[in-house]
Amino acid sequence: MDSAEAIRRSTKKGIEQAKAWAKKDEEEALAKIKREREQSPEGLFVALDDEAETSTHVALTTLSSDPYAGLHSAKKRVRENVETDEKPKASFGPAKKAAKKGGVLKNVQMINSRTTEQGAEWYDTVDLKQTYSRGDMQDLKYLYTLVNNAKKDAADGKDLTQTLSKIRQRLQQMEFYTSLSPILVKKSGLLDDGGLRLVFENRVQDVDFPRDIRADADILFRKWMSGQIDPHLFRGIVTKTGTAKEDRGFKSHSIQPDFAGKVSCNYVGAGNLVNGQWWPLQMCAKRDGAHGEVEAGIHGQKDNGAYSVVISGGGYANVDNGNSVKYCGTQGNENSPSAGTNLMLKAYESQHSLRVLRSASLPASNAYRPARGLRYDGLYNIISYEILDQSTAMYRFSLSRLEEQDPIRSSGEGTIPSNAQILELNKIREQIG
Instruction: Tell me the pLDDT tens digit for each residue of 188-208.
Output: 999 999 999 999 999 999 999
Alpha-carbon separation of residue 394 from 91, 181, 308, 331, 386 (angstroms): 8, 50, 19, 5, 9
As a three-state string, the secondary structure of 15-60 is HHHHHHHCCCCHHHHHHHHHHHHHHCCCCCCCCCCCCCCCCCECCE
What local confidence, expressed as pLDDT, does residue 330 receive?
Answer: 92
**CA-based nearest residue to 33, from 51, 45, 46, 20:** 45
pLDDT higher than 60, residue 60? no
Question: Which tens digit of pLDDT belongs to each residue from 367-419?
Answer: 999 999 999 999 999 999 999 998 999 999 999 999 999 999 999 999 999 99
State the first-to-last Cα distance of the chain, in angstroms, to the nearest integer. Answer: 26
pLDDT higher than 70, residue 78? no
Q: 298 phi and psi, to 5 degrees?
A: -125, 130
**CA-based nearest residue to 276, from 169, 368, 208, 144:** 368
Question: Which tens digit of pLDDT belongs to each residue from 288-334?
Answer: 999 999 999 999 999 999 999 999 987 789 999 999 999 999 999 87
What local confidence, expressed as pLDDT, does residue 121 receive?
Answer: 76
SS3 326: strand
What local confidence, expressed as pLDDT, does residue 250 receive?
Answer: 63
pLDDT higher than 50, residue 116? no
d(CA 326, CA 85): 9
Minimum mean pLDDT range among 2-6, 137-141, 329-333, 426-430: 2-6
pLDDT higher than 50, residue 81? no
d(CA 207, CA 147): 9
**DSSP letter (8 states) at residue 106:** S
d(CA 31, CA 35): 6
E strand intervals along 70-152: 75-77, 108-112
Contacts (Cβ under 8 Å, ≥6 apart) of 392:
91, 92, 331, 332, 333
pLDDT higher than 80, residue 16? no
Question: Which tens digit of pLDDT belongs to each residue from 379-390?
Answer: 999 999 999 998
Minimum mean pLDDT range among 35-49, 152-166, 248-262, 285-299: 35-49
Q: Is the peptide bond before 363 cis (omega within 30 degrees of 0)?
A: no
Burial profile 259-273: b = 16 or more Cβ within 10 angstroms, e = fewer: eebeeebebbebeeb
What local confidence, expressed as pLDDT, does residue 123 receive?
Answer: 87
What local confidence, expressed as pLDDT, does residue 243 receive?
Answer: 60
**Across the chain, what does the average pLDDT equal?**
78
Question: Which tens digit of pLDDT belongs to each residue from 236-285?
Answer: 988 877 665 555 556 788 888 888 889 999 999 999 999 999 999 999 99
Contacts (Cβ under 8 Å, ≥6 apart) of 204:
147, 150, 151, 198
What local confidence, expressed as pLDDT, does residue 27 receive?
Answer: 53
What local confidence, expressed as pLDDT, does residue 409 receive?
Answer: 98
